[in-house]
Every structure is written in C-alpha cells, then in structure tokens.
Amino acid sequence: MIRLYRPSDTVLSQAVRKDMATAQATANTYSRNDPEIERQWNNFRRRKAGQEVWNALTNAYHSKCVFCERVNAKTLDHFRPKERYPKKMFRWNNLLLCCSDCNRSKGNQFLFRDSVPLLLDPTTRDPAEFFEWDTTTGALIAISEPARQPYAMHTLNQLELNDQPLQGERVAKLKAVVYLLARVVREQPVEGDTREQLQAELHPSRPYLGIIRFLFRQPNTFRPLVDASRAKLPEIDSWVKPWL
C-alpha cells in the first residue's frame, strides 16, 4: 500500500462531468440497498462516461490496485460502498481502482471510529503514517501508536493485505531493487544496463513500490545502500520522486 494522488476531475471532459452530475442527482433519491443502484451503475459503466472515468483512473494509477498494488485492477470501485452510500455513487473522489481480490474482501463493510472510516483510503491518508514493513517477510506491520493502530489493523484484516502470495511478491521486488542498488554502488562507472533495469523497477507503473518507499524514507538495514546509490547515481531521485 502506497500513498496515491488523485487527479482533479478536470481530467474528465465537461460532458462526462455533466453526465456524472445528472446520474448523481438521480442517485440522491435512492435509499440504501435500492435495487436501482446496481442497474444505474451498470448503465453508467457501459456508457462513454463510464469508460472515460475508467481510463482516467487507469492512467492515474497505472492499472494498479490502490490497496494491494498489484497491476491487475479490474474493478471501478467505490471507497464508500454504493449500496450503502448512493449519495456518493458518482462522486469523483469516491471512485478507485481495485483488483478482484481486494474488491471481494472489501465488500460492503464500512466501519467507523470517531466518525472516521476505519478503512484507509491511500488517496487521502498516507499509509506510511500507519504501517511499517518487515523487509524479511514482506509483511505490512501496523504501527503501535494507539490513535492510528486501529485503522491500520482494520485495513490489514479487511483487505487481507498480508496473505500470500503478496508477501512473497513484495520480497521479490525488494530483492530485485536491492540487487540493482548494490550494482550501482559497485560498478565503476555504472553500466547502462544496470541503470535501465533500475529505472524500470522504480517506475510508478511497477507493483509493490510501497515497500521500496519504506527503504528510501525510513531507517532500515538497507538505508546505507540506498543513500550510497543515490549519491553515486543522482538520477535515482528523479525516478522515485513521483511516489516518494
């Protein structure tokens, strides 16, 4: 899980924004679990407006699930479930990309603590403020701070973010980046192939950058290697800037 930035709705055409406003006006008349909710949403997804919203979010998040970071998002999801919150159904800031596994785990459950959603939305709250990483196992670890731990634990449990094969895939990502950083430090000068491979691994479109962000931002056993490679190859800073 990594901090994401939602683009302004101005990435959508004026016609699509108008379509969404009209659809929302209708959705505002629905009560919770109204059978019309699913029908209207399906109609929207089939229209040009629905496809444009999908394309805009796919471009913004590189087809990655906003929760687990797999590059296999198949669902245009509602952070606040549309069945329970039809008045948020066509709101741009309530729409996310989600993989089928996270969508299934998320379901229609939506709990609060002190009037704040327990589920973390990475477009509004930075996961780094709620989690640390185990660089050996690839597990997300909820921080111990009492005020934030409930949100971290609920998000971990509801979305099953520490299930396999997620942990193993994160470790593989970390090892690939660490290996290339070590090559940067060792090579005199840095070879073109090393540079190209590292740039590719750090591109915003690649999966599991959350654990790599931890390497670059927080104290950890790999931090000296990270700092040495950044000093040796300053271009790294521009590669990680979009998500750091």
Going by the DSSP 8-state scheme, the letter that residue 24 receives in this structure is H
What lies within 8 Å, CB to CB, of 61 at 6+ separation is: 4, 73, 97
Backbone angles phi, psi at 136, to 5 degrees: -85, -40
Place of tokens 């999801």: 77
Determine the angle formed by the axes of helices 209-217 and 166-186, rounding to 10 degrees: 50
The two three-digit tokens of residue 202, written as one number:
């750090």
User: Could you list the pLDDT tens digit for every one of the 244 residues in the chain?
Assistant: 999 999 999 999 999 999 999 999 999 999 999 999 999 999 999 999 999 999 999 999 999 999 999 999 999 999 999 999 999 999 999 999 999 999 999 999 899 998 999 999 999 999 999 999 999 999 999 999 999 999 999 999 999 999 989 999 999 999 999 999 999 999 999 999 999 999 999 999 999 999 999 999 999 999 999 999 999 999 999 999 999 9
Total Cβ atoms within 10 A of residue 165: 10
Q: Return the bridge partners of 76, or none.
A: 97
Q: Return the bridge partners of 97, or none.
A: 76
pTM score, two decimals? 0.93
